[in-house]
């Protein structure tokens, strides 16, 4: 089976900063669920930005469905297949109402208003926030904003989800609802989080990002076993 996504020999440093990645390589297969843990500043968000084409690596390749991402068209294709939940939901909600935000993607893809509404309503209901549909994003709480941002990602039905701190700020009910949703979602996902209780429930496949490398962890939370590639 061809990996859905491959990151190959990735090197990256911010201007005037230290190396965040030194020849980082990994791959993820369709419907594979993995999580990445790591200290503050380890590079989890940076890795997601590079995959989504928001930051350009010094060296290395992002390969989707066996094809190296090079052109703007490649990037458009990648952004249809990969949904990215930003760490800060404020980066993701920009319309007058939450419903507008969640309908924005489907409308952009050419769905009719009725179909975009149905899709948005279904996802908002699944996340337990349909009653907030007509609120402006600025009037939502932190946890509600996170769920709203997640709705705007899920409504696009991507094949791979990159979720940056998806459980942050959620109350017990929303947290459990999200655990169950991700457990039952038949999609590939990479989750970056410090919420180990959440990660333990969603996937047994853990990696630690440390010193610019991904190290597989066995049996959740246990010690690193071998350096990943």
Ligand X SMILES: Nc1ncnc2c1ncn2[C@@H]1O[C@H](COP(=O)(O)OP(=O)(O)OP(=O)(O)O)[C@@H](O)[C@H]1O
Query: For residues 8 and 194, which CB has a smaller minimum distance to ligand X in the complex?
Result: 194
Q: What is the largest CA-CA distance in the chain?
A: 51
Report, in Å, the least distance between residue 87 CB and ligand X. Answer: 6
Report, in Å, the least distance between residue 106 CB and ligand X. Answer: 29
Report, in Å, the least distance between residue 163 CB and ligand X. Answer: 12
Q: CB of 166 within 8 A of CB of 193?
A: yes
Report, in Å, the least distance between residue 216 CB and ligand X. Answer: 17
Query: For residues 43 and 106, which CB has a smaller minimum distance to ligand X in the complex?
Result: 43
Query: For residues 49 and 104, which CB has a smaller minimum distance to ligand X in the complex?
Result: 49
- Residues forming contacts to ligand X in the complex (CB under 6 A) are 14, 17, 20, 38, 40-46, 87
Query: For residues 17 and 66, which CB has a smaller minimum distance to ligand X in the complex?
Result: 17
Q: CB of 155 within 8 A of CB of 184?
A: no
Adjacency order of strands within the sheet including 206-210: 82-85, 160-164, 188-192, 33-37, 206-210, 213-217
Query: For residues 19 and 27, which CB has a smaller minimum distance to ligand X in the complex?
Result: 19
Query: For residues 87 and 144, which CB has a smaller minimum distance to ligand X in the complex?
Result: 87
Report, in Å, the least distance between residue 112 CB and ligand X. Answer: 38
Report, in Å, the least distance between residue 193 CB and ligand X. Answer: 9
């Amino acid at each position: 089976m061809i990996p859905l996504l491959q990151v190959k020999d990735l090197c990256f440093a911010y201007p005037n900063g230290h190396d965040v990645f030194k020849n980082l390589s990994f791959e993820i297969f369709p419907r594979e669920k993995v999580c990445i843990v790591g200290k503050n500043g380890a590079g989890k968000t940076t890795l997601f930005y590079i995959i989504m084409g928001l930051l350009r690596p010094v060296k290395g390749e992002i390969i989707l469905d066996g094809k190296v991402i090079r052109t703007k068209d490649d990037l458009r294709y990648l952004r249809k297949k990969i949904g990215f939940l930003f760490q800060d939901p404020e980066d993701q909600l920009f319309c007058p109402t939450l419903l507008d935000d969640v309908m924005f993607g489907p409308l952009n893809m050419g769905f009719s208003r009725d179909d975009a509404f149905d899709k948005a309503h279904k996802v908002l209901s699944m996340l337990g926030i349909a009653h907030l549909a007509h609120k402006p994003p600025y009037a939502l709480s932190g946890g509600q904003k996170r769920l709203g941002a997640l709705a705007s990602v899920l409504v696009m039905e991507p094949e791979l989800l990159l979720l940056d701190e998806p459980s942050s700020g959620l109350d017990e009910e929303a947290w459990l609802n999200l655990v169950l949703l991700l457990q039952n979602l038949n999609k590939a996902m990479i989750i970056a989080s410090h919420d180990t209780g959440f990660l333990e429930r969603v996937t047994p496949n853990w990696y630690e990002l440390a010193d610019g490398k991904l190290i597989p962890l066995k049996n959740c939370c246990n010690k690193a076993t071998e350096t990943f590639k």
